Amino acid sequence: MAEPIRVTVRRGDTGESLHRVHAVAVRDGELVASAGDPELVTFMRSAAKPIQAGPLARARADLDDRDLAIASASHLADHAQLEAVRALLAKAPATEDDLECGPFEDSKLRHNCSGKHAGMLALCHAYGWPYESYRLADHPCQQAMLSELATLAGTDEIQTAVDGCGIVTFALALRRIAIAFAGVEERVAQAMRAYPELIRGPLAPDTMLMQAFDGWYAKGGAEALICAASTDGLSVALKVEDGSPRALRPALGPFLDTLGLDGSLFGPTPLRNSRDEVVGEVKVS
């Protein structure tokens, strides 16, 4: 087994912290490259959103690319993102009161998972499922999400827990995560490619990757996970072992390079203090 990617945080000329990053690349279900442990079990968190949007895409032909993109997003509550959430919620049809993602600042709409929750309400409407408690594990909505992931990952060995927004989140081997991400419903993948800025926002690795690589879709998740896949069957998944997101971008570039891709958009990042002075660097050792 190859060693994990080592990302060092240097302050001045002195190493201050070290992050270990596990990474896999699969093509047509077969492992083609790895660093660290391909069988590392970790939660997908928000990286599962494009997979969770699959049942919605098949059930609601009336939804457009913007609807499916925001259902797959971890948005930053900018104007365009909030408008997309409102539009999807109206098509559900549902109201802000129906959202079970919990409050954020002055509005549930501003919660970064509100688009996913609006999409789940739209799925409930399509099948006549009750809106109440759609977030809970025994609700048919969450059962549909689990079934979708199991089918795409090719395994029932999926652990579950409660995500930050109250719905079910899934843990499985990193290799299986990459396999599942390669199978995202094509309407969802198309929507993400059409609206990468809705998926997260400026300087986010997933948004940047989609803007830079034609035909790719990508999604990050909490605790430092990122997944991406191309139209030619290649998919990747990277997980920072200690959950620190600052190590993802420095690790992503070199790993893409090993696959024959141009990872120069990613790579080392400056370490800044509160005066916005560069005082060090985060980079692969």
- For residues 183 and 32, what is the distance between their CA atoms, to the nearest angstrom? 17
Residues of the chain with pLDDT under 70: none
DSSP three-state, residue 228:
strand
pLDDT at 103: 85
Query: 19: how many CB neighbours lie within 10 A of its CB?
Result: 25
Q: Determine the Cα–Cα distance for residues 122 and 280; give it in Å rounded to an integer.
A: 47
Supply the pLDDT for residue 1: 74
What pLDDT sits at residue 18? Answer: 98
Residue spans per domain, the chain: 5-284
**78, two tokens:** 């900018």
Report the pLDDT value the prediction gives residue 105, as an integer from 0 to 100: 85
Classify domain 5-284 by CATH architecture: 3-Layer(aba) Sandwich (3.40)
Put simply, whether the predicted model's pTM sits higher than 0.95 gets the answer: yes
Question: Within 13 A of 267's CA, how many CA atoms are on the CB side?
Answer: 8
